Amino acid sequence: MASGVKERAPLTCLQQAASRFPRAAIKSAGRVRTDTKAGAAGSDLRFKPVIPGADSSALPLGKTGGFGYSTRFPEQPLPLQTSPVTLKASIVLLPGDGIGPEITQQAKRVLETIGEIFGHEFTYQSHLIGGIAIDETGDPLPEETVQACRHSDAILLGAVGGPKWDDPSAKTRPEAGLLKIRKELGLFANLRPIKLFDQLIDASPLRREIIEGTDILFLRELTGGIYFGESSRSGSGVDETASQAMVYSVGEVERIVRLAAQAAKGRDNRLTSVDKANVLEPSRLWRQAAARVMAEEFPEVQYDVVLVDAMAMHLINRPSDFDVVVTGNMFGDILTDEASMLPGSLGMLPSASLGSDGPGLYEPIHGSAPDIAGKGIANPLATILAAAMLLRHSLNAEPEAVAIETAVGDVLAAGLRTADIARGGPSVSTEAMGDAVVNQLKQ
């Protein structure tokens, strides 16, 4: 447990977001603080989301907040109000590789500004993960990093990987560090909101009439499936073979489906499960377990199933038809990368990886972009928005999260763009974009 952390209320962070910011209120939240009764002084604020199957009835979250992030900004934002409760929180920074250190630095500056404005005390520790960790320790996730994360209140990750470590014969790879930290912390649910900022709708590769209104929340199961299945290689030459098992248990499927169904109840009450049940046995188990949970526990939620190849097509020709989408590890990895291009750039989308207890892990969904590392042109907004998710889910700081999201929208409305979203027009540097968000927060 992190010491000195005060609790705002006795409910979990996700429960608080559900009860304090219903859908109608979140639409007009802007920069308005809604105060609640504070919990017992000195209590622990460590992230404790609802454990599916326990008290998941308290989880529904609004479509423009909670699991996702708001892109509906008031025309005349009201002044920020300072928090009645001082938060003391320990945040672990994992800059990682490539552009990771550059974008993480800008997100840290934004968090520091939030601390100043709202009177919070955030402490930061930086630790190794990924390729740089391999170079310095031989391990993509040193034990020191694991322990620091365990004892933190939240974790902000930059990116891992790069061509330097792409040797297929290497004993380990940077990405192994990311898989391991998820497993070590029990992070079973990856939340990826796919939403468009109105200011950037023309940056999408799709026509406005197709993309307009797109607002999808993906829930990807993180700790099972083929990425964690046993692998083997045998034979040699043309007879050499390789295999990797795709394994899911009923319990793993049920807990992620319950979480997704609760999210759907707080949004448009629609849930789509994606699998490959026409071919794969693990997908047949997934479909059966998911159907049972939905029929017995969530009959009021509109539920359908889609094969993964069809879903890949639907994301291109009718993305606005979907609300909440739940799927397995590999399918979720691929589909969310595809969906991430709907807004026009990977540089705009954050994600959260959450477990039933302990700190959450927050990161941009883009990679380490080694081709632009060190050039000062990377887009930091996805990481800054990931910091907003960190505040919302791990620190129960909804108004602070909304303040960041509003500032990002204001900066985009003012016309500032990094190269990836400039569409050939004028662009600003990584640091200049960070400066703009910080300055907007201070206004």
Catalytic residue, chosen from 88, 183, 268, 333, is: 333
Torsion 79-81-82-87 (CA) sign: negative
Tokens of 350: 């954050």
d(CA 67, CA 442): 26
Q: Enumerate the known binding-site residues.
A: 162-175, 182, 192, 220, 309, 333, 337, 367-379
Distance of CA 228 to the CA centre of its chain: 20
Amino acid in position 235 = G
Q: Enumerate the known binding-site residues for substrate.
A: 182, 192, 220, 309
What is the gyration radius of the CA atoms in the chain, in angstroms? 21
Catalytic residue, chosen from 35, 309, 321, 357, is: 309
Q: Enumerate the known binding-site residues for NAD(+).
A: 162-175, 367-379
d(CA 62, CA 349): 18
The three-point CA angle 173-175-178 to 5° equals 135
Catalytic annotation present for 304: no
Catalytic annotation present for 276: yes
d(CA 42, CA 219): 33
Catalytic residue, chosen from 63, 276, 303, 420, is: 276
Q: Enumerate the known binding-site residues for Mg(2+).
A: 309, 333, 337
Catalytic annotation present for 124: no
Catalytic annotation present for 198: no
CB 325 within 8 A of CB 218: yes
Please give the C-alpha separations between residue 94 and each of 133, 134, 165, 352, in angstroms, as whole numbers. Answer: 10, 14, 18, 14
Tokens of 327: 């799927």
Catalytic annotation present for 27: no
Q: Which residues are catalytic?
A: 227, 276, 309, 333, 337
